[in-house]
Amino acid sequence: MTKYQVLVVDDEEEICDAIEIYLKNESMTVFKASNGQEALDVLEHEDIQLILMDIMMPKMDGITATFQIRQKKNIPIIMLSAKSEDTDKILGLNIGADDYVTKPFNPLELIARVKSQLRRFTNLGSAQITEDEIQVRGLTLNKSTKNVAIDGNEVRLTATEYKILELLMENKGRVFSIEEIYERVWREPYMNAENTVAVHVRRIREKIEINPKEPKYLKVVWGIGYKIEK
């Protein structure tokens, strides 16, 4: 069994210690940091597979740290946010976070989300695919290398963004509801996740569309969901 290494970033020591107990019970190795700068330092020296990132922290907040991490790494990032930080939560998703958990969190929900992100991230390179490439006009997705390109130029996607795009491209022309996308990609029951899916779709559009406001590929079908145009 793979022993995952998880980085917990929060300036509240009690929260870090509690999360460490939950993760260690799942046989995960835990590294801790009290602000974004410390998190960046840990990432320089350790092979981390997932980050739990608080938003409000001294020295460097979670939004700034997430933005900097996304310049170099695509590992899953789950934001830890208070209920009053909804705007920051959406901003976090916009700049590259994969998911969020609201404080005070249910330990079972936290572990479920961690496992879901780890499973999705590690499975990206595990499956043997017979048909490597899916192409929709200038948009290409290689299921073997997990590369995405638009008009020959490589596009960097997070693990979650890749899985959404792969789902839609494998079923080009078919409309998927937000609920379907969430349950297929996150692999957990859909509960009030409209913003989560919408933000990820918006990020994908910003990366693959020349004009995200007039998309050629990733289309919205109002009142129903999303599809990749054939």
Cα–Cα distance, 18 to 15 (Å, whole number): 5
- What pLDDT is recorded for position 127? 37
Other CB atoms within 10 A of residue 22 CB? 17
- What pLDDT is recorded for position 123? 66
User: What are the strands of the beta sheet with 133-136, ordered from one edge?
Assistant: 133-136, 139-142, 147-150, 153-155
* End-to-end alpha carbon distance in the chain: 41
- What pLDDT is recorded for position 104? 87
- What pLDDT is recorded for position 1? 44
Question: In the chain, which stretches have pLDDT less than 50?
Answer: 1, 125-130
Q: Contact, 73 vs 97, CB < 8 A?
A: no
